[in-house]
Structure 1
Amino acid sequence: MLLLIDGNPIVHRSFHAIPQTIKTSKGELTNATLGFTNSVLSLIEHFKPESIACAFDTSKKTFRHERYEEYKATRVEAPQGLYDQLPRIFSILKALNIATITAPGYEADDIIGTLVDMAEKAKLRGVIIVSGDNDFIQLVSPLTSFYSISRGLQKAVTFTPEKVKETSQLSPEQWIDYKALRGDPSDNLIGIPGIGEKTAKELLLKWHDLDGIYTHIEELKPQTKKKLIENKESAILTKELVTIHRQVPLDVTLKDLAYQEPNNVEMYNLCTELEFRKLAERFENSALF
């Protein structure tokens, strides 16, 4: 089983969920590092993966920004205290022997999409994506599941093709067309203003995808037709930008993601330095592994 973790959402959730009073005696802020470490350990305990990777966005703009300058423009910049903890988080992942992957010009979504593509071409069954971003629904297939932690690890939901259909009436392949119609405010993508969830689903259930809807544009209600015609370029752009790329040039193979035992000594030293006493004890005793 291959476990693919979208690192950024877990870091952000940990930073905002755990008090910023969590610091070392020297004053180093460690709340995100502590939360992230506990979350990753919980995921390993739960899934017991044979292979694992953790993908991160970079600070550089991506091809999506080049295509649309306003992409994610409405997002509030994360506090510096969060960014300052990333080196520690990467050190933790290294000590856990978890492959950490970034790709300038691409998002973590695209890295994971590429790894999913590699795994499915190899007929690897049991790929699980962990994230709070529902864009990953588009990658769900008979071989790949999406473990959504949008409401936290304790309330995680596993999306299979059947679960996607049950909860949304749509297939995973239709998710990008749904987003094209509805837009995505979190990424500052407009879609088609005035098209609600009900209408979007009705259109897709009848005509399958965006191309099918525009092919039958003359058969739509006047108001819906007007909205679709006036905002066609926006819908096409939104679909393009929400589509996860699956051909990112990565210098890794599936064999590189094979999960090894953590470096318990290094984890103990890191946890001791960060003053994570309970975690340090676990790695000192090596009982967890």
Structure 2
Amino acid sequence: MSEHGGIESLPQNVLARKPTLMLVDGMALLFRAYYATALKGYIRRTEAGVPTNGIYGFVRYMWDAIRQFDPTHVACCWDMGGRTFRTEQFESYKGNRSAAPDDLIPQFDLVKDVVAAMDIPNIGMPGYEADDCIGTIAKRCAREQNMDVQILSGDNDMLQLTEDRIKVIIMKKGYGNYQVYTPEFLMEEKGLKPSQIIDMKGLMGDASDNYPGVKGIGEKTAIKLVQEFDDIDGILANLDKLTKSVRAKIENDLDMLHMSRSLAEIHCEVPVECPIDLCEFRIDDAKVSAKFAELEISSLGKMMGTDVFG
């Protein structure tokens, strides 16, 4: 068994099923859940006034995906807050984002308590983003431990992680709506290989993460260039084949092109631990029921159904 756990360490009841690890993008689910009700003016609260709407929606989203995709193992990855190596590279990275709403802030810790009560590991690493932890664990489990991996998120940046044993499940509007990406479907839908997602973002930038790419190059041009020349290195080796306008834009923004590409790439060598035996998905009914009761969201138990609460 490796230092991170291995298939040989799995209980026999799990070995009877195909080992599959679901990695949950915690912040993506929590923010989606919070705004789904907050934007309509409704914030669920306990009698003491503690907001729980994000937690409630988070559990619904996660449980629906677990039921639908049936992983044997689950872990949840989180951004840890504070500066990351990307902020060190580019001071303005994500600098356009406003502070979290007051009603969401207390739910950051409370939702992790709920995840822990479900015996799902909470994983994060200071200095890195959840994406980097997800990428690291996904690649490690797929390549070293021969596991299938499912990444649950709403962030299309994750598409760069798809490979034969790694599927990216992108959440669509509403509960139970997903698009499952494999390398084959990514090529079919977008005409791109997984690695080309990084090159595309390097060229066009990302407004939500606040890095510009090459000024004047949008998604359509970025995709066309990557499809024709394979990657940024290929584009730079063939500048003489570009239109004068596109060539000038790239040459005028070379430093930012390389910077943006670096920022777009998910770092898959994070020194993060994820012992696979601790990720086996088992629900302790009493523990979960007690946590739901504490937060006055016991109706979630009924929603989760007889599979959990008998």
Q: Does 1:39 align with 2:45?
A: no
- Which of 61, 67, 72 does residue 94 from structure 2 map onto? 72
- Which of 147, 167, 171 does residue 189 from structure 2 map onto? 167
Corresponding pairs, count:
288
- 1:30-72: CA deviations, max 9, x gaps? 1011111111211221122111110000111100001100000
- Which of 282, 292, 303 does residue 271 from structure 1 map onto? 292
Q: Could you tell me how far apart the structure 2 residues matched to 1:117 and 1:284 are?
A: 33
Q: 1:135 to 1:126 in 2, by over 3 A?
A: same
SS in 2 for 1:186: coil
Q: 1:102 to 1:277 in 2, by over 3 A?
A: same
Q: Could you tell me how far apart the structure 2 residues matched to 1:183 and 1:146 are?
A: 21
Kept in 2, the 8 Å contact 1:148–1:157? The answer is yes
Q: Report how far residue 157 of structure 1 moved.
A: 0.6
Name the amino acid aligned to 2:21: L
Q: Which residue is 1:4 aligned to?
A: 23
Q: Report how far residue 115 of structure 1 moved.
A: 0.3
SS in 2 for 1:120: helix
Q: Which residue is 1:25 aligned to?
A: 47
Task: Choose 206-215 or 81-90, whichever is displaced more.
Answer: 81-90
| Aligned 1:176-255 pairs, distance under 5 A | 176-255=198-277
- Identity of aligned pairs, percent? 32
- Which of 15, 24, 33 does residue 14 from structure 1 map onto? 33
Q: Report how far residue 150 of structure 1 moved.
A: 4.6
Cα RMSD (Å): 1.8
Q: 1:282 to 1:13 in 2, by over 3 A?
A: closer
Q: Could you tell me how far apart the structure 1 residues matched to 2:201 and 2:22 are?
A: 26
Q: Could you tell me how far apart the structure 1 residues matched to 2:199 and 2:116 are?
A: 38
- 1:211-266: CA deviations, max 9, x gaps? 0100111221100110010011111001101100111011333333222x212112
Q: Could you tell me how far apart the structure 2 residues matched to 1:94 and 1:232 are?
A: 45
Which runs of 5 or more residues in structure 2 are unaligned?
Answer: 1-19
Q: Which residue is 2:4 aligned to?
A: none
- Which of 155, 167, 173 does residue 133 from structure 1 map onto? 155
Q: Could you tell me how far apart the structure 2 residues matched to 1:287 and 1:101 are?
A: 24
Q: Could you tell me how far apart the structure 1 residues matched to 2:147 and 2:301 are?
A: 35
Q: 1:219 to 1:284 in 2, by over 3 A?
A: closer
- 1:169-211: CA deviations, max 9, x gaps? 1111111000111110000010012112232222112210000
Q: 1:267 to 1:246 in 2, by over 3 A?
A: same
Q: Could you tell me how far apart the structure 1 residues matched to 2:127 and 2:192 are?
A: 31
Kept in 1, the 8 Å contact 2:285–2:308? The answer is no
Which runs of 5 or more residues in structure 1 are unaligned?
Answer: none
Kept in 1, the 8 Å contact 2:301–2:309? The answer is no
SS in 2 for 1:72: coil
Q: Could you tell me how far apart the structure 2 residues matched to 1:156 and 1:44 are?
A: 12
TM-score w.r.t. the length of structure 2 is 0.88
Q: 1:277 to 1:227 in 2, by over 3 A?
A: same
Q: Which residue is 2:9 aligned to?
A: none
Q: Report how far residue 130 of structure 1 moved.
A: 0.6
After TM superposition, what 4+ stretches of structure 1 lie above 6 angstroms from structure 2? 282-286
- 1:111-163: CA deviations, max 9, x gaps? 00100121122252421101111111100011111100153443311111111
Kept in 2, the 8 Å contact 1:268–1:281? The answer is no
Q: Could you tell me how far apart the structure 2 residues matched to 1:45 and 1:277 are?
A: 19
Q: 1:79 to 1:132 in 2, by over 3 A?
A: same
TM-score w.r.t. the length of structure 1 is 0.94
Kept in 2, the 8 Å contact 1:190–1:234? The answer is yes
